[in-house]
Amino acid sequence: MTTTPATARERYLQPEYTRLLAAARRSLERTGGSLDGTISVSAPTDAEREALIGLTGTYRPPGTAKITVRLADLDAAIRTATGATLAGLLTQAGGPLRNRPAERAALQNARTQLLTQAESSPLHARHAWYRAWLSGVAADGTLTTLINKGDTSALARAVRVLEHLDARSADTPPLMLPALAETVTGDTKALNHGRGPLPGLVLRALAQAHSVPLPSTAEERRELWDAFDVIVDDLASRVLVLNLPAHGQGLGEWLTGAAAYGTPFHITLHQLVTLPITVSLPIVYACENPAVLRRAAQELGPDSPPLICAEGRPSTAFHRLTRTITDGGGTLHYHGDFDWPGIDMTNQLISRHNARPWTMTAADYRTGIAQDDHIPLRGKPHPTPWDPELADTMKHANRALYEEAVADTLLDNLTASRAET
């Protein structure tokens, strides 16, 4: 019976040729289709050995450890028997062959184009954090993943978001996240968490710029956006105050009423935007931990000097209220934790609002750590230009001193301040 090309092709697709053809596919895909090399089948079964004897015309005895075949010979044998090339047979058996060298070249070309475009941003020359972010995205596989998934526009859109935020001045009103997304991308939901790679790319850059870990919770994401005056939720962004009388309908009246009773009051960013106030106070004290404000309310009540609380990292509501205070001629006296994040926040408030550190000298630190045991300092050290000795003392002692541990000292200071007015 005459063997037709079709039946010959079916023969090569039988199990005894499976490993041989798999090795051939790997070789052709790795080299971009080259037939110059050889392939092998190790520990061949009797059926594989006999099939390869028939293919090559060379006898191999039972027990042969490995049979090697030149790809060119395999291609020629298949052409003779089936009229198809080796590549054609492999395509029929398992789908199109990949050209890995061409894929690598295309990937590298796409990477180069995207990085060149991102490096052309003015941010690249101005900010070390931007260069570090871009280098990280290129090095850890993120860029390759974007290309392989067809999301090549995500990096360019992330750069445009960062450029837009960088161009905003300190006096620019806070921006709602949907408004930012629409301005830059045309889609109000483009920066929502889980909406493709764009939000993650931007937050990764903002975390790099702020020297904080990448946020992993909704609260951490909101706080990071807040740090750049972008509001995810203007009801969630808030600041806690005590005895802060103000002028203005609604919010101003509420604050003045609360101050008369020494009652703590939470102000949301929504209230600050929709019910604007003016504050005419020469000094407003500020703390980081609400435990300090709570004690001031309990122990001093209406007699406590005006006090606002960041409740951790200052929110956009905190910054907006502080600008209102300074615009009215007031000065913020700030106390935070004696740890490196607390020192960093103090520096930021000095730079942003011309705040004055409040009981945050090296002497205050030494007095505090002498009273109790404290955990070791963590994180990157920061300078203390208002008292250079403080940073050196903290490095030497290597102990964190949290605000609630010095609450007695702060309350004594508030009491004394009140008596002087």
What residue ranges do the domains of the chain occupy? 5-98, 101-231, 238-420
Q: Where residue 103 falls among pLDDT bands split at 50, 70, 90?
A: confident
pTM of the predicted structure, to 2 decimals: 0.63
Crossing angle (nearest 10°) for helices 153-167 and 198-210: 40
Q: Where residue 255 falls among pLDDT bands split at 50, 70, 90?
A: very high
- Interatomic CA distance for residues 260 and 282, integer angstroms: 18
Residue 348 above 70 pLDDT?
yes
The fold for domain 238-420 equals: Dna Topoisomerase Vi A Subunit; Chain: A, domain 2 (3.40.1360)
Residues 206-216: tens digit of each pLDDT:
999 988 889 88
Integer angstrom CA distances of residue 272 from 227, 244, 327, 363, 412: 17, 14, 14, 37, 31
Residues 18-76: tens digit of each pLDDT:
999 999 999 999 999 999 999 999 999 999 999 888 887 888 899 899 999 999 999 99
Residue 245 above 80 pLDDT?
yes
Residues 283-298: tens digit of each pLDDT:
999 999 999 999 999 9
